[in-house]
């Protein structure tokens, strides 16, 4: 180990470049070997609460690692402590939640970002971090069919990488309130935000964080509205709610439309929701329509799914997560707006120590003004590497392959008299369950499905999660299983094996 002289505590044991190179090679080899043996692990971690912590010392080490083989102990702990406590999100038999893709190019981009150690809060703190991000977000807008108004080449729009769709929703909500306030609404208005009952919880959380909602149970300032038979937000219900709030003296200012809800993958009718904002005068007052396409937005790389964008001309901001289904490891949310001025008005704070000639010139983008935190990593590198490695054709093949697997899974469910598809298949998501037996009470049907899910997950062969679909068309709420196909390494044989395991467990 190299040593730099320091007073008091002696030398600092930094790795030399050669030591780092050797350990780096070993770590890359370990990761590659891990990917090659993913199928040997139980998909969901099998440890009990506290099991990982019990293997860790109660106190930090006083002395650091030293000696040629000192890091051997670290690699042993990775195997003995870390791996047993990991749920293997990259397993080809991981079908829970939504996918969280990683890929070789993305990991290499993440490694380069960490090695460069850039803090890209301003253009001047690393021009490459800003300008590569701007360009790859424009590429991604083109690949997904977003209108020119959302690109940096437009006069008023552009894209930025946020950490998650939750952060994107918060940024959009803060920008919306500021825009409405600047168009004459009093700062102490009774603000109201709207989404469907199936929208992501981040809408409510954003409202809580920015002071719109008084708490998680505030149904006055965050209206979570009734859905139709396909679990999509009903425009007539939204219009009625807005008119009620206007009549009561409240200030509607923000609507979140979902493209691909978490529970069932439902798609809200974006264009019709925009029409509601026009008719009610909310749009004219500065009101904002945000689209959360966290998972399903990746499908827009395929032209056949661009119909999901119908009505996007009425949208003020749009976001989706390449870290879900587009081979770019967490965290990476692509956030676009047609009104970047609203973001800057809401989020810009410029103390003296951040002032610089480039920013003052107005010729550059400072992305710290487009997000909540000041600091930001060079996340564009991993997205850049992914887009360059796979190209549009590779990304389309990735998405289409998973949708094709979901179609097969849906057909297997439909052709088994014991099961039923519980909601319309959404791209690569299938909601299904065991059918009610004659005379069986709904809670008993739910219990059988819960037991089925527990059995297959306990086997370690696959991992699924559940949701509860709300009452619709006279049916009570239903506990259903979710088959979310989207892993980097998932092949049809893994989906077939999952179905066979479910079928056997239901016998």
Q: Tell me: the pLDDT tens digits for 354-380?
A: 888 877 888 888 888 999 998 999 999
Q: What is the pLDDT of residue 69?
A: 85
Residues of the chain with pLDDT > 70, as a percent, come to 98
**Residue whose token pair is 């070993």:** 26
Cβ distance 91 to 463 under 8 Å? Answer: yes
What is the pLDDT averaged over residues 21-39? 96
What is the pLDDT averaged over residues 396-417? 97
Of the candidates 161, 100, 171, the one whose C-alpha atom is nearest the C-alpha of residue 333 is 161
What is the pLDDT averaged over residues 338-353? 88
How far, in Å, CA of 410 to CA of 431, rounded? 9
Of the candidates 417, 232, 395, 397, the one whose C-alpha atom is nearest the C-alpha of residue 328 is 395
Q: What is the average pLDDT value for the chain, to the nearest integer?
A: 93
Cβ distance 287 to 314 under 8 Å? Answer: no
Is the predicted pLDDT of residue 1 greater than 60, yes or no?
A: no
Q: Are strands 465-469 and 429-434 parallel, antiparallel or unpaired?
A: unpaired
What is the pLDDT averaged over residues 493-506? 97
What is the pLDDT averaged over residues 12-33? 93
How far, in Å, CA of 5 to CA of 41, rounded? 45
Q: What is the DSSP string of 221-250?
A: SEEEE-B-TTSPBPHHHHHHHHHHHHHTT-
Cβ distance 180 to 351 under 8 Å? Answer: no
Q: Side-chain half-sphere of 350: how many Cα atoms within 13 Å?
A: 13
How far, in Å, CA of 247 to CA of 392, rounded? 49
Architecture of domain 112-387: 3-Layer(aba) Sandwich (3.40)
CA-to-CA dists, residue 455 to 434, 440, 462, 484, 502, angstroms: 14, 21, 10, 18, 9
List % helix, strand, coil for the chain (3-state, nearest 5): 45, 15, 40
How far, in Å, CA of 255 to CA of 238, rounded? 9
């Amino acid at each position: 180990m190299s040593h730099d002289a320091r007073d008091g505590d002696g030398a600092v044991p930094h790795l030399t470049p050669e030591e780092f190179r050797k350990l780096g090679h070993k770590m890359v080899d370990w990761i590659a070997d891990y990917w090659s043996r993913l199928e040997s692990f139980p998909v969901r971690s099998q440890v009990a609460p506290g099991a990982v912590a019990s293997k860790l010392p109660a106190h930090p080490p006083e002395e650091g690692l030293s000696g040629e083989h000192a890091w051997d102990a670290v690699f042993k702990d990775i195997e003995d402590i870390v791996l047993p406590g990991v749920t293997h999100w990259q397993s080809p038999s991981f079908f829970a939640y939504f996918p969280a893709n990683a890929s070789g190019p993305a990991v290499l981009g993440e490694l380069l970002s960490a090695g460069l150690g850039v803090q890209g809060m301003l253009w001047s703190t690393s021009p490459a971090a800003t300008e590569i991000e701007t360009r790859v977000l424009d590429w991604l807008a083109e690949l997904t069919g977003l209108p020119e108004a959302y690109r940096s080449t437009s006069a008023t729009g552009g894209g930025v990488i946020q950490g998650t769709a939750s952060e994107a929703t918060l940024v959009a909500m803060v920008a919306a309130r500021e825009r409405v306030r600047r168009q004459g609404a009093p700062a102490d208005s009774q603000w109201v935000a709207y989404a469907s009952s199936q929208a992501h919880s981040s809408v409510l959380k954003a409202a809580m964080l920015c002071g719109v909602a008084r708490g998680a149970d505030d149904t006055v300032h965050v209206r979570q509205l009734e859905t139709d038979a396909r679990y999509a937000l009903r425009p007539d219900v939204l219009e009625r709610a807005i008119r009620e709030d206007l009549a009561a003296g409240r200030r509607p200012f923000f609507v979140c439309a979902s493209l691909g809800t978490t529970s069932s993958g439902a798609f809200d009718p974006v264009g019709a929701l925009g029409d509601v904002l026009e008719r009610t005068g909310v749009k004219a007052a500065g009101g904002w329509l945000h689209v959360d396409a966290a998972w399903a937005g990746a499908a827009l790389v395929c032209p056949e799914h661009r119909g999901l964008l119908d009505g996007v001309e009425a949208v003020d901001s749009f976001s989706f997560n390449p870290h879900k289904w587009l081979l770019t490891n967490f965290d990476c949310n692509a956030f676009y707006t047609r009104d970047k001025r609203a973001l800057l008005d809401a989020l810009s704070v410029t103390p003296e120590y951040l002032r610089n000639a480039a920013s003052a010139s107005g010729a550059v983008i400072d992305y710290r003004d487009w997000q909540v935190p000041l600091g930001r990593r060079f996340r564009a590198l991993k997205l850049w590497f992914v887009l360059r490695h796979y190209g549009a054709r590779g990304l389309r093949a990735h998405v289409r392959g998973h949708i094709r697997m979901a179609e097969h899974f849906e057909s297997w469910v439909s052709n088994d008299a014991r099961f039923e598809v519980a909601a319309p298949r959404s791209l690569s998501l299938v909601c299904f369950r065991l059918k009610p037996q004659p005379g069986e009470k709904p809670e008993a049907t739910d219990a059988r499905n819960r037991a089925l899910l527990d059995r297959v997950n306990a086997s370690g062969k696959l991992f699924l999660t559940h949701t509860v679909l709300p009452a619709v068309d006279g049916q009570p709420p239903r506990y259903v299983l979710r088959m979310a196909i989207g892993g980097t390494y998932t092949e049809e044989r893994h989906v077939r094996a999952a179905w066979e395991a479910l079928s056997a467990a239901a016998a």
